[in-house]
Amino acid sequence: MDRPVKLGLLGLGTVGAGVCKILQQNREVISHRAGTDFEIAKILVRDLDKPRAVKVDSCLLTTDVTDILGDPEITVVVELMGGLEPAYEYVHAALDAGKHVVTANKALIASHGARLIRLAASKGVDLYYEGSVGGGIPIIKPLRESLVGNRIEEVMGIVNGTTNYILSRMTQEKADFVDVLAEAQALGYAEADPAADIEGHDAAHKLVILASLAFQTPISIHQVYCEGISQITAEDIAFAEHFGYTIKLLAIAKRQPRGIEARVHPTFVPNRHPLAAVHGVFNAIFVRGDAVGDLMFYGRGAGDLPTGSAVIADIVDVLRNRKRGAHHRVETLWQPIPVEAIGDVRTRYYIRLHAVDKPGVLAQVAASFGAEGVSIESMIQQGRGQDQPVPIVFITHEVEERQLRASLARIASLPSIKHIASVIRVEGGLR
Ligand code: NAP
Ligand code: HSE
């Protein structure tokens, strides 16, 4: 009888513990489906004495990575540490040593994916990363395999569970940003440094991975425009509701005539749009292909068991490939495609100003918009200020971002304008 395939885990935090829990629960059926028996041979951690969310034999734990990378019997390395270093060094060394690698590390794949994919190909080993985007949602495999017959036109979605959890609670319960962030951290959704979630960097890493696969082009993190949710206020959420929208942090990649648009930012999503109904830790990703039309992938975007589910699926793929000698069976034929500057992107905008409430102010603002070719779709002014500035809110028609910026520069210089408080992009409906 064949000896079990040995796996080495790098990390036993939220996701590592999720993987171990699933293996303890469903081990027999997973081995059967993989067609091969397998076992966890070693687990790298920083602190041997830390309490763990899952019971594992203490002799499996090590703080010395060479117990995994230097063991020729460990043929599959599962990287669940996070961060760029030493994760990159360890994954590179594992591939270089001819080991297969499964990772859920989006920062790593977004920053070094192309190089690691080339290394895996040259060594004839697998590099899988389903858990890196959308938690438990299968999205990498559909883009890499199931949709190869399509020219993908658009990938757009909610890809960060922490920020969706925060925005949902702020919208539905008027909860406080800081309290809800602490809850998301306690639930294991947030990154080690939650600023990665809040400032949109985690979503931008995921967009790099999605867009590179969808458009078969090497996109760099520096080409993705990125804005987080830290500036979103209860006032903006209330105005969004007033206009029939919900604020979501969207990751958007679209094929345009001049190249690809790649951006992450808070967005007004119309309430009739299915993304507006994606709440809490759930993620949803739309994909539009020329043959298949619109697809939506929906599920839990973070957490131990959902992400563990995606990691286990990758491990089983590696084991199945291993059994059939079919490693590295997915071709990546990346061709360079330009990425548009944010100034060239066309979209609609919500703008909240604080202005002195006196005759002629609206006419001046309208003239400033008009001078740069910005056309107004809706507008409201709330309250009546005595000596206090009042909020005036506009939603524009679609316009190039550089025109919008030029009009805002004119408006900011008007003496009656105290402050441009918010500028948030507005997404349209489904075609
Ligand atoms: P985590 O809870 O912080 O766990 C990280 C684990 O790696 C810990 O066990 C830690 O050891 C170990 N580790 C970190 N640096 C190490 C080092 N230098 N040497 C040895 N061990 C080290 O992280 P996580 O939430 O499980 O996330 C892991 C990865 O999955 C990240 O790339 C993350 O972006 C990704 N991911 C997370 C989720 C989620 O819901 N959390 C979902 C999808 C993808 P100690 O325990 O001893 O400190
Ligand atoms: N911090 C990430 C999130 C984990 O909140 O979506 C899942 O990738």
Q: Does ligand 1 come within 6 angstroms of the Cβ of 45?
A: yes
pLDDT for 431 equals: 41
Phi, psi of 343 (to 5 degrees): -60, -25
* Rounded-to-10 torsion of CA 168, 172, 177, 183: -70
Residues of the chain with CATH 3.30.70.260: 343-426
Q: Does ligand 2 come within 6 angstroms of the Cβ of 131?
A: no
The ligand 2 atom at the shortest distance from the C-alpha of residue 160 is 6
pLDDT in tens, 217-238: 999 999 999 999 999 999 999 9
CB 267 within 8 A of CB 227: no
Residues of the chain with CATH 3.40.50.720: 5-135+304-324
Q: Does ligand 2 come within 6 angstroms of the Cβ of 160?
A: yes
Residue 230 CB coordination number (10 Å): 12
pLDDT for 219 equals: 95
User: Which sign does the torsion angle of CA 340, 344, 347, 351 carry?
Assistant: positive
Mutate which of 19, 68, 81, 129 for ligand 1? The one with the most ligand atoms within 8 Å of its CB, which is: 81
Distance 23 CA to ligand 1 centre (A): 18
pLDDT for 326 equals: 83
pLDDT for 357 equals: 84
The ligand 1 atom at the shortest distance from the C-alpha of residue 304 is 40
Residue nearest to ligand 1 atom 21, measured at CA = 45
Q: Does ligand 1 come within 6 angstroms of the Cβ of 184?
A: no
Distance 196 CA to ligand 2 centre (A): 9
Residue nearest to ligand 1 atom 43, measured at CA = 135
Residues of the chain whose pLDDT is less than 50? 430-431
Quick one: fold of 140-300?
Dihydrodipicolinate Reductase; domain 2 (3.30.360)
CATH of domain 343-426: 3.30.70.260
pLDDT for 358 equals: 84
Q: Does ligand 1 come within 6 angstroms of the Cβ of 188?
A: yes
Which amino acid does the sequence have at 2? D
Distance 107 CA to ligand 1 centre (A): 12
> Tokens 């899952």 sit at which residue?
54
Question: How is residue 247 written in tokens?
Answer: 């604020």
Q: Give CA–CA dist 86/105, Å, rounded.
A: 12
pLDDT for 384 equals: 66
CATH 3.30.365.10 at 5-135+304-324, yes or no: no
pLDDT for 328 equals: 72
Residues of the chain with CATH 3.30.360.10: 140-300
CB 264 within 8 A of CB 427: no
pLDDT in tens, 267-277: 999 999 999 99
pLDDT for 349 equals: 98
Instruction: Give catalytic residues, as residue numbers.
Output: 206
